[in-house]
């Protein structure tokens, strides 16, 4: 591994950690110097670190981050782009949990690393006129969509001795970054958000950003695994909640019975909200199956409750969280688990498309969501977490579960080439429509309180405010009140109502 030490935007020295010798380099501008090093040492890890943290960098931990060569890692205590980037980006990658290894494209010149061969891919996508921080964030932002796995990791710098060297982008650099990495309309929305919520009138940065073009990056960043063989005695359980989909579930079991990696057990949580509950799954006992079936019939409906009951019954190394209306090929489990073990991933979401949909992605990427009916998770990763009952019968329980994983340091990877077919069965769900307590209110909440709850739990203040502003514009077209001032007060009242109900859900008072 080579480490480039810099100070005041000038290269101080380059150290080879294997030979412990200083490498002479003529280029003194950090970004250019990194590209020069990547050109000469493309198969090596190229790191950067502020000179003041030279004695604090934990080389062993930094090296250990690279379980594959398509990784980029960094450590910084503040966002170079400032929290204002939350007005533009709605994803989970912005609100970084700095107590663990967390997926994010927010990078810092404080300390970090990437493989030389991957750094070279961005040679034509970055400008040496921009600062090192700007270019590092640009590389991660562009690369994450194409297979570059980007993380914040606090332990690469020893906390007790760390020197804070973080820099912040100017308003002009912020607008430039947005124009170069997002759709053009977002610079206007950024301007409006800053005007409304921070009382800042940034006309010059807005106008200047119009001079820049959106950056393009079309390379796919892949990595060769150290081993593609499945570990001996790998065990997997399948967890399926179901309600009135006996025929579809039967097909799922048939697909599981053909797997080249046979499940140890299939845990089925059947729900029936009739006065007298009765199972429809007669074929569990009348047919022979090559795996153990654990069947539990309950009267309480709701996917959160059903999955939590099922998770308590799982006994294998991995659990496949499956829907009851999917179809898949015989090598699905084998391929997915080989991938997870080869790259040491603990959670993957599989491609799950409808009949006429086509998978456009080819490379595994860090996923901004989590599919509770199409994911495989290592069982030891879900210890002490569960599906939050506050989201029962609403929206967001799967996203919330994914965030619980990430906050434990478990990244969620989307695996596009292991594919399921989602039939979207027309029957199932609830026999009678579930009526939430807030649906009978004179002033109905907007958005749904479960959506609001997720936002309040996991998004920054800027992200919540941006969501509020965009919802304000989008909802105007769909409702009947067209008088602007009247609509404003109605929207404000409904938003406040949603917040109130979300707080009740969070405090479990309903």
419 CB-contact burial (10 Å; exposed 0-12 / middle 13-18 / buried 19+): middle
Q: Count CA within 13 A, CB hemisphere, residue 360.
A: 3
Instruction: Check the CA dihedral 171-173-175-177 and report its sign.
Output: negative
> What pLDDT sits at residue 58?
93
CB 370 within 8 A of CB 401: yes
Q: Which residues contact 366 (CB under 8 A, 6 or more apart)?
A: 93, 103, 144, 149, 150, 411, 412, 413, 414
What DSSP assignment string belongs to 72-103? EEEE-SS-TT-GGGGGT--STTSS--TTS-EE
Q: In 175-291, at which residue ranges do the beta strands (DSSP E only) sit? A: 236-242, 265-271
Query: How large is the C-alpha radius of gyration of the chain?
Result: 25
> What pLDDT sits at residue 77?
84
Distance CA 50, CA 96 (A): 21
Domains 2-167 and 236-422 share a fold: yes
> What pLDDT sits at residue 431?
47
Domain ranges for the chain: 2-167, 236-422, 437-506
Q: Which DSSP state fits 379?
A: G
Q: What is the pLDDT along the chain (510 residues), one digit of tens a residue?
A: 999 999 999 999 999 999 999 999 999 999 999 999 999 999 999 999 999 999 999 999 999 999 999 999 999 888 999 999 999 999 999 999 999 999 999 999 999 999 999 999 999 999 999 999 999 999 999 999 999 999 999 999 987 666 766 789 999 999 999 999 999 999 999 999 999 999 999 999 999 999 999 999 999 999 887 667 899 899 999 999 999 999 999 999 999 999 999 999 999 999 998 888 899 999 999 999 999 999 999 999 999 999 999 999 999 999 999 999 999 999 999 999 999 999 999 999 999 999 889 999 999 999 999 999 999 999 999 999 999 999 999 889 999 999 999 999 999 999 999 999 999 887 654 445 678 889 888 899 999 999 999 999 999 999 999 999 999 999 998 898 999 999 999 999 999 999 999 999 998 777
> What pLDDT sits at residue 160?
67
Distance CA 475, CA 487 (A): 10
CB 216 within 8 A of CB 125: yes
CB 243 within 8 A of CB 270: yes
> What pLDDT sits at residue 257?
98
> What pLDDT sits at residue 276?
87
Question: Which CATH architecture group holds 2-167?
Answer: Alpha-Beta Complex (3.90)
* CATH superfamily, domain at 236-422: Spore Coat Polysaccharide Biosynthesis Protein SpsA; Chain A (3.90.550.10)
CB 68 within 8 A of CB 223: yes
Instruction: Please give the angle made by the CA atoms of 22, 26 and 28, to the nearest 5 degrees.
Output: 95
Distance CA 407, CA 384 (A): 12
Distance CA 36, CA 38 (A): 5
CB 77 within 8 A of CB 98: yes
Instruction: Please give the angle made by the CA atoms of 96, 101 and 107, to the nearest 5 degrees.
Output: 55
């Amino acid at each position: 591994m080579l480490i480039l030490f810099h100070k005041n935007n000038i290269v101080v020295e380059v150290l080879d950690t294997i030979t412990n010798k200083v490498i002479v380099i003529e280029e003194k501008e950090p970004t250019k110097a990194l590209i020069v090093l990547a050109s000469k040492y493309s198969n090596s890890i190229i790191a950067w670190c502020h000179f003041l943290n030279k004695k604090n960098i934990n080389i062993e931990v930094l090296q250990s981050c690279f379980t594959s060569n398509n990784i980029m890692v960094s450590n910084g205590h503040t966002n170079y782009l400032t929290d204002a980037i939350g007005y533009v980006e709605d994803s989970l990658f912005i609100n970084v949990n700095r107590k663990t290894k967390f997926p994010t494209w927010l990078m810092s010149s404080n300390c970090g690393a990437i493989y030389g061969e991957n750094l070279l891919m961005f040679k034509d996508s970055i400008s040496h006129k921009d600062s090192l921080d700007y270019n590092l964030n640009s590389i991660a932002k562009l690369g994450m969509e194409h297979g570059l796995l980007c993380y914040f990791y606090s332990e690469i710098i020893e906390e007790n001795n760390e020197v804070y060297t973080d820099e912040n982008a100017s308003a002009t650099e912020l607008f430039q970054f947005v124009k170069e990495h997002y759709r053009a309309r977002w610079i206007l929305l950024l301007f409006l958000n800053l005007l409304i919520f921070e009382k800042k009138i940034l006309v010059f940065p807005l106008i200047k950003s119009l001079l820049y073009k959106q950056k393009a990056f079309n390379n796919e960043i892949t990595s060769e695994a150290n081993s593609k063989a499945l570990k001996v005695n790998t065990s997997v359980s399948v967890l399926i909640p179901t309600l009135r989909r006996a025929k579809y579930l039967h097909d799922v079991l048939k697909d599981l019975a053909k797997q080249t990696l046979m499940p140890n057990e299939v845990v089925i949580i059947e729900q029936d909200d009739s006065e007298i509950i009765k199972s429809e799954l007669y074929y569990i006992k009348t047919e022979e199956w090559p795996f153990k079936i654990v069947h539990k019939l309950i009267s309480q409906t709701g996917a959160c409750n059903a999955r939590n009951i099922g998770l308590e019954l799982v006994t294998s190394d991995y659990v496949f969280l499956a829907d009851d209306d999917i179809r898949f090929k015989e090598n699905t489990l084998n391929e997915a688990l080989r991938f997870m073990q080869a790259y040491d991933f603990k959670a993957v979401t599989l491609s799950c498309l409808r009949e006429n949909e086509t998978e456009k992605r080819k490379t595994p990427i860090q996923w901004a969501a989590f599919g509770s009916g199409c994911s495989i998770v290592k069982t030891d990763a879900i210890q002490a977490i569960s599906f939050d009952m506050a989201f029962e019968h609403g929206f967001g329980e799967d996203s919330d579960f994914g965030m619980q994983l990430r906050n434990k340091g478990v990244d969620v990877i989307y695996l596009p080439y292991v594919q399921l077919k989602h039939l979207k069965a027309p029957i199932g769900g609830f026999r009678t429509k579930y009526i939430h307590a807030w649906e009978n209110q004179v002033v109905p909440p907007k958005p749904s309180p479960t959506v609001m709850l997720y936002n309040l739990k996991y998004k920054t203040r800027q992200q919540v405010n941006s969501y509020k502003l965009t919802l304000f514009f989008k909802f105007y077209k769909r409702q009947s009140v067209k008088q602007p001032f009247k609509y404003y007060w109605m929207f404000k009242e409904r938003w406040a109502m949603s917040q109130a109900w979300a707080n009740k859900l969070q405090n479990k008072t309903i």
